Amino acid sequence: MSHYEVKIERRISSYSYIYRPPNSNIIWVSGLSISQIFKDRNKLSPYYIPKRLPHREQQINALLSIYGPMLKNIWSVYPRFTQIIGPTGTGKTCTTIKFGELIVERAQKEGIDLRHIYMNCKVDGVTRYVLYGNLVRKVTPKISFKSLSPEEMIRQLIEYLRFEETFLIITFDEIDYLVQMNPKEHVIYDLTRFPEFHPGEPLPIIGEIFIARSLKWHDLLESGERSTLGAGIIEFPRYTSKQIRDILEDRVEEAFQPNVVLDDTLELISDITANPPVNGDVRVGLELLYYSGILAENAGSNKVLPEHVRRVYSGINPTITAEDIMSLNKDGRIILLALVRGLKSSGSAYISLKELRKFYNIVCEEYHIKPSEDFENNVQDLIYRGIIDMKSLMEIGISGAALVDLEKFLDNLLRQIEDVERRV
């Protein structure tokens, strides 16, 4: 603390002091900071699930009305499959997790040992072997699945559940990703045919919930898979500006000190979030709120103003200039070109490293270049330069580009890279 010019404001105990560095809204308490802007900034994290999920009551009730009655005769039910469909940031994941908590609570009241297992296919695996291994691991460490086939893992899992008198509802989030990555695995065929392992007998897996962004993934299924999946679909529409405002208002109350975020600020964030290019992704609204708060704090303001939001929003628009591209070596430019093509063809904000390599090889062939052995290092270099963004091996995108009109942005970028390519 010695490098701060601090004024001791109030002595709160024999060894703790509250300090206020000049021109700052951060009050230091013996080295810990208490912000005048934030009360608990964690409440703005996309991983935090608030107690109330405004405008998703209908969807939670729909899930409860499907699975709730099954608790009455849990020993003789057959599994029900439900699909949740909605664009990004419409609360599919958080609503399903909340539903899981509610149904488990209800089951407990009935003396039933029900568990909700959440699987994210992007994280938990895109092959049956890895996915089922992770499923078994999440349920119990007692089954050693190392030498088992995928079918055998499920068989043992069901036996274990029967023995322990435990019931499961399993959610498979981002199932569209898995099916796109590995359509030949026919994972839906497996997952919807568990009952056939023990024909005629009820199953301890009472429900499976599949989450996807649209129904497009059905195109990759066989007709048999589509039919066992059934028609139980719960839609998650995009939020309107007013709905986003309600959602963010709750978060403001939890995350910020009282009266710090102006009404106008909240309105601006809600409008930006509801309209194109963001199109209702609440995650972006939460980010804007968070970074606007940080900016206000760093600027020494005791209010979060619309101006802070505007500055943050303009800052997160990606701008890659021709100069940036010129400064790259040939391999860097080819990788960037491959990434842009890959993103354009996938239509999403990210592609995997594997897909990037595939597009890279195609572009190399087109430009008659031998693919570099340093591919990974070159990708790393682009990350270090802040040009591309790697959230995981499965998610590589253009820095900040998840938030803009990707199509238009990529078209521009593509033209710039190809221009540079032609000139050199």
* Residues within the interface to ligand ATP (CB under 6 A): 46, 49-50, 53-56, 86, 88-94, 213, 247, 282-283, 286
Which does residue 202 touch among ligand ATP, Mg ion, none (CB within 5 to 8 A, set by kind)? none
Nearer to Mg ion by C-beta: 34 or 123?
123
Which does residue 90 touch among Mg ion, ligand ATP, none (CB within 5 to 8 A, set by kind)? ligand ATP
Which does residue 116 touch among Mg ion, ligand ATP, none (CB within 5 to 8 A, set by kind)? none
Handedness of CA 276, 278, 279, 280 (dihedral sign): negative
As measured in angstroms, the least distance from the Cβ of 122 to Mg ion is 9
Nearest CA-CA partner of 43 in 229, 256, 247: 256
Strand ordering across the sheet containing 32-35:
7-11, 17-20, 26-29, 32-35
- Burial of 45 per CB tally in 10 Å (0-12, 13-18, 19+): exposed
Alpha carbon separation from 24 to 12, 68, 301, 330, 419 (Å, rounded): 20, 52, 8, 46, 47
Binding residue (CB under 5 A) for Mg ion from 25, 36, 59, 93: 93
- How far apart are the C-alpha atoms of 249 and 242, rounded to whole Å? 10
Chain position whose Cβ is nearest to Mg ion: 93
Which does residue 54 touch among ligand ATP, Mg ion, none (CB within 5 to 8 A, set by kind)? ligand ATP
Q: DSSP letters along 386-423, please?
A: TSEEEEETTEEEETTGGGS-HHHHHHHHHHHHHHHHHH
How many other C-beta atoms are found inside a 10 Å radius of the C-beta of residue 13?
Answer: 7
Nearer to Mg ion by C-beta: 212 or 420?
212
As measured in angstroms, the least distance from the Cβ of 12 to ligand ATP is 35
As measured in angstroms, the least distance from the Cβ of 87 to ligand ATP is 7
Nearer to ligand ATP by C-beta: 50 or 232?
50
Nearest CA-CA partner of 174 in 238, 88, 104: 88
As measured in angstroms, the least distance from the Cβ of 219 to Mg ion is 21
- How far apart are the C-alpha atoms of 393 and 213, rounded to whole Å? 21
Which does residue 286 touch among Mg ion, ligand ATP, none (CB within 5 to 8 A, set by kind)? ligand ATP
Nearer to ligand ATP by C-beta: 116 or 333?
116
Which does residue 86 touch among ligand ATP, Mg ion, none (CB within 5 to 8 A, set by kind)? ligand ATP
Which does residue 82 touch among ligand ATP, Mg ion, none (CB within 5 to 8 A, set by kind)? none
Alpha carbon separation from 20 to 23, 102, 204 (Å, rounded): 8, 44, 59
> Could you identify the residue written with the tokens 């028609």?
231
Q: What is the DSSP letter of 239?
A: P
Amino acid identity, residue 215?
A: L
As measured in angstroms, the least distance from the Cβ of 389 to Mg ion is 18
Stretch that binds Mg ion, among 29-37, 88-96, 316-324, 375-383 (CB under 5 A): 88-96
Crossing angle (nearest 10°) for helices 306-315 and 282-298: 110
Which does residue 282 touch among Mg ion, ligand ATP, none (CB within 5 to 8 A, set by kind)? ligand ATP
Stretch that binds Mg ion, among 92-100, 153-161, 322-330, 347-355 (CB under 5 A): 92-100
- Interacting residues toward Mg ion by CB under 5 A: 93
